[in-house]
Each structure stands twice: as structure tokens, then as C-alpha cells.
């Protein structure tokens, strides 16, 4: 894909860029578009944070020097973002959201926290014991302002260095609230179809503007408009023109255009999966101003909501890495499972070829457990992600007494036709709510009963051979299973298999994963990974080179050394508190992450807070990589059951 970013920028006094009541667009200064991408004018420093570094492993010395530049900038980027639009209210939100463990969330105590210069913690910082502790444990984030309550956590809390206006799942009654990320979908004629946040009245005013911008570029430039970036506020507006549908992403989270385009393409793929391209074109060929919203159903909007929240708020590396998450499963059991399925297929010669195209067993949390596929054919990851989203969201309330017959268009397989999915949840004795699903995919709409009998016999087989029990018992792995110290979390992607694995999240056990704190953790982790990934890919999404080793450092200390110190003084006390070194005032942030790309695998790894030694982290990373390679047959599906 050829990306063409057109940067619009102007010298607008920063103070003007406050969020306004009438909508998010006010902050963008739109001037005459530069006909070619400019790299010389008005480039804000944050631009360079995206400048990735490709460093070979052997060149250790130069690596450390260059990466530190990179990391400085990254840290700068992440904490610099908010000042320009810092409303007091928003600032308070920031505080509350970053204050992970402070249950009271009492705003009134904010002023008392301002005593940063007389900080008892700073004095104790030289204490060897505390520094030692720091390298192993990270601090509870709520210690701010209170006595030094160093409750050593077992290294499982990482600080949040990213400024989000607020977690998106928190509903704020204030309608004027602006979002740091939004998705909008309209028809090319300007009718709204879907928006992630915001009401119709607000969106309506967008449509005209967006259409004007898009058609301006269609008329005037040979280049397709993809992204408008405002450096001043670090906002990005990315467009995907899939006439008759137009999609737009708005983000302040520092994602690359390509990443946003991928996200938009995923949303578009969902719409296709529900309608198919043929139907979409037909609907709009009759009337260009067709109102698609009336044609889509409640379920579609629910699913779009779900997908948007997956993209924006959840740890969902599948899309970023364009690969599937796989269920770790004993190799011999996986072979057994595959051979059982193939035997069953062999036995049912009466099912004509083409009736059963693909078979999948999907474990809870969208982990692929088994694939049955014809030789030479695989399903595209996007198609599978769509199917997984449907299963985990739409059908989660179903139980094993029901069987479903669902027409789905798999846009990357064939965007103009439907396939039919037989979906049945597999029985699970261990009364957990999480059930695996068996999916059989056919091209024939009346194949239900053939597939049903196939499935009935297969499930009996799986139960009698105790394979089902093993599937249900498979629990994935924990970080502690791997002898790799100082690692907080990692994602390992096997390139050949287009699959990735990651350990369970390990956060404070009294935080439920779907509580707001759990969600915040996911968002935080997601952002770390997103920035790590951003250092190894080009603007078009391709990897920089075949082998890359990048370290990225997020640090609160570095902030102080930066030149922004002066500008920072201009802000009010409250602002400064947020911007300065924000919530980690008492917690020194020294996060080190690394992205390691080889021809065989990609490893993204985040160290514990306080681990500053690249060698230590790299040693652990090697252990992680070795472990994953050693267990490759357990962690990944290599071929699947091929017929």
C-alpha cells in the first residue's frame, strides 16, 4: 500500500487549540494543502518520535546510543500531548484514571498533592535498599501524596506513561466531552452510518466537512487522501474511501496512518461480512443517497461497537500483528485431534466435496485450537478475526443445546458471496462459562443437516477419546513458566504460522480483568506494544528490515532533562502537575521495552519498571525466544488437519 500523508499545518497560537464546544474540528487549522508531503516546514519534534531505528544486534554500542534518543522522544511524546488542550476538568479525569489503586478517587485532595518539591521520596531515592527494590518491584501507584508505603508488588505493576483523556468505557455525562479516539462511517453521499462516540447532531456537522475535504483531494490531487495530521495537537484524521462508504478515524494516540487504516479496513470488513460487497453495491446503485443505517440491524451496531472497543480499549494484538492467537496445546493431543477430525471426514464420504470447506475449533478468548482445511487453502486472518468477534460477542450466551446456521461473507475470501457457518459450542463439564466452539464452514446454504450429523459424530468421538476434556483444560501459560526474569509481559509471533502467543495478564489479583482498572491495564499494555511495534515498521506497515532489535525507554527522569522544562512553566500549577511527571511523581518510571524481529519470529517484550539494563532485558528476551521455539509445536498450529 502506498501511503501518502498530506500534512496540514499552520502557525496557530497554541492557546487556540483548546477543545471547543462545537466539536472536535475546531482545533484543526486547515490551510491550503501542500501539494507534496512537506518535511521541512513546521515540523514538530514529535514527528521524529516515529523515526524508527534499525540496529543490528552486533552493533551494541551504537544501538544503545541511538535508542536512547528514540526513547527520549517517545517519552516526550507521551507526556507532552495533553498540555495544549488541558482543560481543568479533563485534567481531573486524567488524574482519576491514572490513579490506579486509589479507590476513593477524591478530587478534592488534588491540591495537597502538589508538594512535589518537598518530597520525602526524593530523599530516600539514594537509599540503596530502595533502589534495589526498585529494580525488582515496581511501586503501587497510589503512594502519591501519602507516606511512603512501599508495599513491594511482585513486579506486576507497570506505570501508565500515556495520557488518555479517559478510559473510553467510562461514561461521562458531559456531552461536550471530546474523545481521543473516534471512528465514523458515512456513505459517500454524506449520510451517517455509524459513529463510535457522539450523537447524530454532532456527527451531521462532520459529514459535510469530511466530504468536502475528501472530494477536494479527489478533484485536485492525483494522490489519494489518507491522513491529515495536526502536529500542534498531535491529532490524526485518517480516511478510507471505499465508495459508496467512507470511513474516518480520529486519534490522538500516536498511531501511524497505516495502523489506523488497518483498523478502518477491519470495520469496513465487518460491514462487508454482514452485507457482502455485492449487496452493498446493489443497494447504492439504485439510489446514491441510500440510508444504509436503516438497512443494518441492531446486531450490526452492537458488533461495530464491540469491534471498536476491541480496537480502542482492549489488548487486541491480533490486528496490530495481523495474526491469530493460538491455544497452547500438547503436541500429541493436537495431532490426535487432527487425526480424529480427518478420520471423521474420511468416514463421511457421503458428504460431497465442497460441502465442508473449513473446520475450526475455537477456544475461549478467541484462541484457535484446531483447523481443518483443504490442501492449498487457508483462511485470511481478517476473516477469522471477524468470525471470532462474532462468536465471542454475539453468541456468548448460547449453550451447547443450540446449533447455529449463520451466513457470513468472508470479505478476504470472497467479498461478494456468503459462506454458511455451522456453529456449535462444545460441552464443558467444568462448569465454567467459557466454552469452545466448533465451526464448520460450507458454501452451500442447505448443508446444515450434513454438517450437523458430522459434528454430532465428531463430538461423540472427541468426548470418548477424552480430547474435549483436554481442550477445556488447556489453560495457556504464565510468565512464571518461563525462566526469564525482569520481564513484565511479551508477545511472541511466529512468522511462518502467522500466529502469536502471549502469557496471561498478571495483575493484582483483586483487580478483576473486566473492571475499569483491568481495562485500564489492558489499554496501557496495548499502548506500550503499539509504540514498540511502531518502531519496527515503515509507514506502509512493512517491517523495516529482516532483522531488527530496538529498545524503547519510557522514563520520567528524562522528561526533566528535556527542553520542555521552560514551556512547562507557563502552565498553571494543576497543568504542570499533570504534564510534568504526572502520576508517577513519586514513582520513578524507567520502563524499557524491546522489539526484536528476525526472519523467524517477532518478539515484543516489556520489562518491569526499573529494569534499565538493556543487557539484562535482552538476556531474558533470548530466554523467552528460546522457550517459545522449543515449545513451538505446543504453542502453534503448524499445518492443521489438511485434506
Partner 1 sequence: MLQFKLVLLGDSSVGKSSIVHRFVKDTFDELRESTIGAAFLSQSITIHPNDGNGAKDVVIKFEIWDTAGQERYKSLAPMYYRNANAALVVYDITQEDSLQKARNWVDELKNKVGDDDLVIYLLGNKVDLCQDMPGSETIPELNEGEDDEQKVRAISTEEAKQYAQEQGLLFREVSAKTGDGIKEIFQEIGEKLYDSKKDEILSKQNRQINGGNNGQVDIHLQRPSTNDPTSCCS
- Supply the minimum distance, in Å, between the C-beta of residue 444 and partner 1: 7
* Gap between the Cα atoms of 275 and 58, Å rounded: 52
- Supply the minimum distance, in Å, between the C-beta of residue 404 and partner 1: 5
- Supply the minimum distance, in Å, between the C-beta of residue 457 and partner 1: 10
Task: Spell out, one character per residue from 253 to 292, where the chain touches partner 1: x when CB under 8 A holds, - when not.
Answer: ----------------------x---x-------------
Does the protein bind partner 1 through residue 404 (CB under 8 A)?
yes
* Gap between the Cα atoms of 567 and 581, Å rounded: 14
Residue-wise DSSP of 449-473:
HHHHHHHHHHHHHHHHTTHHHHHHH
Does the protein bind partner 1 through residue 346 (CB under 8 A)?
no
Nearer to partner 1, 25 or 405 (CB): 405
Out of 397, 430, 433, 510, the residue judged to bind partner 1 by CB under 8 A: 397
Nearer to partner 1, 63 or 308 (CB): 308
Does the protein bind partner 1 through residue 402 (CB under 8 A)?
yes
Does the protein bind partner 1 through residue 406 (CB under 8 A)?
yes
> Phi/psi at 245 (nearest 5 deg)?
-120, 140
Grid cell digits, residue 471:
481442550
Does the protein bind partner 1 through residue 538 (CB under 8 A)?
no
Does the protein bind partner 1 through residue 299 (CB under 8 A)?
yes
Q: What is the DSSP pairing of strand 227-230 with strand 192-195?
A: unpaired
Nearer to partner 1, 405 or 571 (CB): 405
Does the protein bind partner 1 through residue 443 (CB under 8 A)?
no
Does the protein bind partner 1 through residue 450 (CB under 8 A)?
yes
- Supply the minimum distance, in Å, between the C-beta of residue 244 and partner 1: 17
- Supply the minimum distance, in Å, between the C-beta of residue 569 and partner 1: 52
Looking at the DSSP assignment, which residues form a beta bridge with residue 163? none
- Supply the minimum distance, in Å, between the C-beta of residue 155 and partner 1: 40
- Supply the minimum distance, in Å, between the C-beta of residue 294 and partner 1: 10
Grid cell digits, residue 151:
508495599
Q: How many helices (H) and strands (E) does the chain have?
A: 20, 18
* Gap between the Cα atoms of 293 and 200, Å rounded: 12
- Supply the minimum distance, in Å, between the C-beta of residue 108 and partner 1: 33
Q: What is the DSSP pairing of strand 499-501 with strand 324-325?
A: parallel
- Supply the minimum distance, in Å, between the C-beta of residue 395 and partner 1: 8
In this chain, which stretch among 223-231, 239-247, 348-356, 611-619 interacts with partner 1, using CB under 8 A?
348-356
Nearer to partner 1, 273 or 583 (CB): 273
Grid cell digits, residue 194:
455509524
The angle at the Cα of 640, spanning 639 to 643, to the nearest 5 degrees, equals 100
Does the protein bind partner 1 through residue 2 (CB under 8 A)?
no
Does the protein bind partner 1 through residue 398 (CB under 8 A)?
yes
Grid cell digits, residue 472:
477445556
Out of 446, 481, 561, 613, the residue judged to bind partner 1 by CB under 8 A: 446
- Supply the minimum distance, in Å, between the C-beta of residue 445 and partner 1: 6
CB atoms within 10 A of CB 447: 22
**187, 173, 394: which is closest to 284 by C-alpha?**
187
Out of 36, 60, 302, 573, the residue judged to bind partner 1 by CB under 8 A: 302
Element spanning 527, H or E: helix 516-534
Q: Among all chains, which residue has been given the C-alpha cell 471512528?
A: 183
* Gap between the Cα atoms of 585 and 577, Å rounded: 9
* Gap between the Cα atoms of 427 and 451, Å rounded: 18
* Gap between the Cα atoms of 607 and 616, Å rounded: 9
Is residue 385 within 8 A of residue 374, CB to CB? The reply is: no
CB atoms within 10 A of CB 147: 8
Nearer to partner 1, 420 or 551 (CB): 420
Out of 297, 561, 613, 639, the residue judged to bind partner 1 by CB under 8 A: 297
Is residue 487 within 8 A of residue 503, CB to CB? The reply is: no
Binding site for partner 1 (CB under 8 A): 275, 279, 295, 297-299, 302, 350-352, 390, 394, 397-398, 401-407, 420-421, 444-446, 448-450, 452-453
Amino acid at each position: 500500500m502506498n501511503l501518502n500523508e498530506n500534512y496540514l499545518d499552520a502557525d496557530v497560537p497554541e492557546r487556540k487549540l483548546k477543545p471547543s464546544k462545537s466539536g472536535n474540528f475546531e482545533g484543526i487549522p486547515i490551510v491550503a494543502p501542500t501539494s507534496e508531503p512537506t518535511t521541512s516546514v513546521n515540523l514538530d519534534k514529535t514527528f521524529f518520535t516515529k523515526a524508527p531505528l534499525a540496529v543490528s544486534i552486533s552493533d551494541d554500542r551504537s544501538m544503545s546510543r541511538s535508542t536512547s534518543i528514540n526513547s527520549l522522544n517517545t517519552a516526550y511524546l507521551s507526556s507532552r500531548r495533553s498540555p495544549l488542550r488541558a482543560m481543568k476538568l479533563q485534567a481531573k479525569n486524567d488524574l482519576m484514571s491514572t490513579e490506579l489503586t486509589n479507590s476513593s478517587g477524591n478530587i478534592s485532595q488534588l491540591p495537597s498533592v502538589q508538594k512535589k518539591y518537598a518530597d520525602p521520596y526524593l530523599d530516600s531515592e539514594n537509599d540503596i535498599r530502595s533502589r534495589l527494590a526498585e529494580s525488582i518491584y515496581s511501586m503501587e501507584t497510589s503512594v502519591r501524596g501519602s507516606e511512603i508505603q512501599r508495599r513491594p508488588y511482585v513486579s506486576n505493576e507497570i506505570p501508565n506513561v500515556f495520557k488518555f483523556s479517559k478510559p473510553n468505557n467510562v461514561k461521562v455525562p458531559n456531552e461536550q466531552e471530546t474523545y481521543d479516539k473516534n471512528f465514523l462511517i458515512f456513505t459517500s453521499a454524506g449520510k451517517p452510518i455509524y459513529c463510535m462516540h457522539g450523537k447524530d447532531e454532532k456527527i451531521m456537522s462532520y459529514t459535510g466537512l469530511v466530504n468536502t475535504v475528501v472530494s477536494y483531494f479527489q478533484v485536485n490531487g492525483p494522490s489519494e487522501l489518507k491522513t491529515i495530521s495536526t502536529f500542534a495537537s498531535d491529532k490524526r484524521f485518517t480516511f478510507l474511501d471505499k465508495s459508496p462508504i467512507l470511513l474516518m478515524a480520529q486519534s490522538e494516540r500516536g498511531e501511524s496512518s497505516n495502523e489506523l487504516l488497518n483498523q478502518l479496513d477491519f470495520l469496513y470488513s465487518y460491514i462487508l461480512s454482514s452485507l457482502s460487497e455485492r449487496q452493498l453495491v446493489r443497494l447504492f446503485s439504485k439510489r446514491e443517497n441510500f440510508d444504509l443505517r436503516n438497512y443494518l440491524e441492531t446486531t450490526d451496531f452492537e458488533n461495530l461497537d464491540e469491534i471498536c472497543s476491541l480496537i480502542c480499549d482492549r489488548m487486541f494484538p491480533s490486528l496490530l500483528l495481523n495474526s491469530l492467537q493460538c491455544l497452547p496445546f500438547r503436541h500429541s493431543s493436537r495431532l490426535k485431534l487432527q487425526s480424529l477430525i480427518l478420520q471423521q471426514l474420511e468416514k463421511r464420504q457421503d458428504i460431497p466435496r465442497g460441502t465442508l470447506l473449513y473446520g475450526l475449533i475455537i477456544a475461549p478468548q478467541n484462541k484457535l485450537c484446531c483447523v481443518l482445511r483443504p490442501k492449498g487453502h487457508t483462511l485470511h486472518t481478517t476473516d477469522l478475526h471477524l468470525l471470532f468477534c462474532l462468536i465471542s460477542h454475539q453468541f456468548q450466551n448460547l449453550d451447547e443445546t443450540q446449533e447455529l446456521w449463520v451466513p457470513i461473507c468472508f470479505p478476504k475470501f470472497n467479498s461478494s458471496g456468503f459462506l454458511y457457518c455451522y456453529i456449535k459450542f462444545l460441552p464443558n463439564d467444568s462448569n465454567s462459562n467459557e466454552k469452545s466452539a466448533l465451526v464448520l464452514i460450507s458454501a452451500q446454504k442447505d448443508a446444515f443437516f450434513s454438517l450437523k450429523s458430522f459434528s454430532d459424530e465428531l463430538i461423540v468421538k472427541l468426548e470418548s477419546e477424552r480430547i474435549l476434556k483436554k481442550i477445556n483444560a488447556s489453560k495457556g501459560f504464565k510468565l512464571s513458566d518461563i525462566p526469564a526474569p525482569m520481564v513484565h509481559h511479551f508477545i511472541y509471533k511466529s512468522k511462518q504460522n502467522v500466529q502469536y502467543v502471549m502469557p496471561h495478564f498478571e495483575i493484582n489479583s483483586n483487580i478483576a480483568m473486566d473492571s475499569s482498572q483491568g481495562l485500564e491495564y489492558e489499554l496501557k499494555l496495548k499502548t506500550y506494544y503499539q509504540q514498540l511495534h511502531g518502531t519496527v515498521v515503515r509507514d506502509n506497515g512493512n517491517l523495516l528490515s529482516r532483522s531488527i532489535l530496538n529498545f524503547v525507554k519510557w522514563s520520567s527522569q528524562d522528561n526533566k532533562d528535556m527542553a520542555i522544562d521552560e514551556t512547562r512553566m507557563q502552565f498553571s500549577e494543576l497543568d504542570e502537575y499533570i504534564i510534568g511527571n504526572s502520576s508517577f511523581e513519586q514513582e520513578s518510571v524507567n520502563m524499557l521495552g524491546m522489539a526484536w524481529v528476525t526472519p523467524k519470529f517477532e518478539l515484543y517484550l516489556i520489562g518491569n519498571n526499573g529494569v534499565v539494563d538493556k543487557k539484562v532485558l535482552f538476556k531474558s528476551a533470548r530466554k523467552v525466544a528460546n522457550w517459545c521455539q522449543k515449545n513451538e509445536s505446543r504453542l502453534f498450529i503448524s499445518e492443521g488437519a489438511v485434506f
